[in-house]
Amino acid sequence: MSIRPPLKELNIKTHNKGFYKGFNRSVTVTSKILVTLVVIWILSDIENSGAILEAMKNWSFTNLNSYYTYAVAFYVLVCLAVILIPSFGRTKLGSDPNGKPEFSNFSWFSMIFGAGIGIGVLTYSAAEPLWHLANNPDTIMAKDMIIASLNSNNIPIPQDADVFALYQSEVAANAIPALDGIVVPKTEAALDAAYRYSFFHWGISAWATYSLVGICLAFFCYARNLPLTMRSALAPLFGRSLEGPLGNIIDISAVIATIFGIAQTIGIGLSSFASGLYSLTGMTWLVTDAANPEPTVGALLMSLLVVMCLSMASALSGVGRGVKWLSNINMVLSFLLLAFFLIFGASMFALEMLGKGILSYVIHLPAMLVTVWDPNTELGVWQTSWSVFYWAWWIAFAPFVGMFLARISKNRTIREFGLIGIVAPSLTLFIWFSFIGGTGINLEMSGIANGQIYNSGLTAQLFDIIGLMLSPAMANALSAMVVVLLLTYLVTSADSALLVINMVNAAGKVQVENGQKHIIVWTIALTAVIAALILAGGLDAITSAMMVAAIPFSFIIILMAISLLKALILDNRRAKEEILEINTEQ
């Protein structure tokens, strides 16, 4: 029995005149209304809206930690399957067997990295290993073991006591026996876990989520000739019903997730950008407290205005000009910064951490992907605050990054997409975390920093590391480069997101008659959303909104994965039938 041919036509209704000419009005107008209602709701009652967003985030942390954990594990499994199975991996993301990629490997990788998590790496590569060195699941489990041992030996534990210090003093006094496997915070014993979990959050899990969406979209667009929009990736499951309301709902979910996913990334970038300006200028209005500098609302709003004006200008110039050139500049400046740490940082220590961290990560990855702790325990609180937060962030970011990756990846194979789109950026991030974060750890563990980096805010720690390594003049020069790099990453992420939103609204079309006008409208809308969330509670409010927006799209990605597997399996069966028919005729 022959298999039906795949669906290669999807008629998505677009308007034929006026401002919305070339756009799907149901998707575009509904998305704008929903975004506008969110902004109005927040601004009408800033205090209560912030509290409601916080409650929604806490609910998702408590009730969805298992779902997010297993969903991301599923994304990783499917992504690895389509890359590693030979017949799947050699599938070309294009209909022309002789077609060539549009962008060089360097420009392609630059845009992947810049649009993906370039902003986060500047902030978290310095901060996250330090945070995990002080507190991670290994230290938490060690703390639980110590408390159980102290209780069993009837040794009182004073309120707010340093349990590890108490344990060490009791062991020294022979009051209790030494325990095996105790990982003490901020010591060499905690280094393994610090890097294992840093790599876990920024490695394969993140890039598999992005790449899965990108591979799905590129396959159905370039190999099936369907529109480059989210609904197309579900064609094997829902067929032509995607031309109507069901498809509109899917695309609207993608637009909303993109808005709040990019808001999270820009929010973190704005905080780092403002911290960098304070490090350079010392202007007190930029921070709330000079002793523990956190950006003020005014500093964040000023930074937002600068970033969004530049982003709109870049988006209006298109992918082949503004986005491409900014991405290339990002990569050059990034590697200059990395080269500085390679030469002048704690290089030998960093190389050791890189090797040991990758080995520990690979060994523990299967268990980490499926481990879920009770959210009401200290381990569960850590998991929701770190891992689940990241999974929601990557999912909310996936429609934007996935579609952008699909847009720039025509005529690549699935395996090429996977190897470059998952392995290469993961290894690059591991190097960043090892050399920049490792230098910060080395400064603290050697006593040079004396707690300065530990006690600093997350978005300011990179500037503290630079300040401790260099003279004031040289530190200012390098900090200035970091500020410029942050700005270019912010602009690249925002302008790429604006282009993707336009493509979804325009039923997958890259060039639309009124496209530039809509980019301006969406720039204003995105600016209004981020500004309103900043006023409602800063980064906490942005994170809360992102956590909620990620929920519906996380389910859509699961359906996209099933759809891709179904399409690839049926294609293999069709190919075998064709071979059988040819052999029979001969």
Based on the fold, state whether residues 86 and 143 are members of the same structural domain: no
Which pLDDT does position 320 carry in this prediction? 47
CA triple 293-295-296, angle to 5 deg: 120
Based on the fold, state whether residues 23 and 84 are members of the same structural domain: yes
Check residues 33 and 287 and name the one with the higher pLDDT: 33
Based on the fold, state whether residues 95 and 225 are members of the same structural domain: yes
**Phi/psi of residue 413, nearest 5 degrees:** -90, 165
Check residues 221 and 537 and name the one with the higher pLDDT: 221
Based on the fold, state whether residues 173 and 293 are members of the same structural domain: no
Q: Is residue 442 part of a domain?
A: yes
Within 8 A by CB and 6+ apart from 277, the residues are 283, 286, 299, 303, 483
Based on the fold, state whether residues 74 and 142 are members of the same structural domain: no
Helix, strand, or coil (residue 287): strand
Based on the fold, state whether residues 413 and 301 are members of the same structural domain: yes
Owning domain of residue 195: 18-135+185-579
Is the whole model's pTM more than 0.85, yes or no?
yes
Based on the fold, state whether residues 426 and 567 are members of the same structural domain: yes
Task: Tell me the DSSP string of 399-441.
Answer: HHHHHHHHHT-TT-BHHHHHIIIIIHHHHHHHHHIIIIIHHHH
Q: Is residue 244 part of a domain?
A: yes
Q: Is residue 9 part of a domain?
A: no
Based on the fold, state whether residues 174 and 206 are members of the same structural domain: no
Give the CATH number for residue 76.
Answer: 1.20.1740
Q: Is residue 10 part of a domain?
A: no
pLDDT digit string, tens, across residues 97-113: 788 888 777 777 777 76
pLDDT digit string, tens, across residues 14-56: 888 889 999 999 999 999 999 999 899 988 888 888 888 888 8
Q: Is residue 478 part of a domain?
A: yes
Q: What is the DSSP letter of 538?
A: T
**Phi/psi of residue 287, nearest 5 degrees:** -130, 160
Q: Please say whether the beta carbons of 436 and 424 come within 8 A.
A: no
Based on the fold, state whether residues 244 and 205 are members of the same structural domain: yes
Q: Which residue has the tokens 């929903």?
A: 34
CA distances from 570 to 7, 356, 527 (A): 12, 42, 44
pLDDT digit string, tens, across residues 171-180: 888 888 888 8
Q: What is the DSSP letter of 95?
A: S
R_g (Cα) of the chain, nearest Å: 25
**Cα separation, 272 vs 363, whole angstroms:** 33
Total of domains in the chain = 2
Within 8 A by CB and 6+ apart from 281, the residues are none
Helix, strand, or coil (residue 374): coil
Q: Please say whether the beta carbons of 33 and 255 come within 8 A.
A: no
The two tokens of residue 132 are: 């995990």
Stretch 154-158: mean pLDDT: 87
Q: Is residue 370 part of a domain?
A: yes
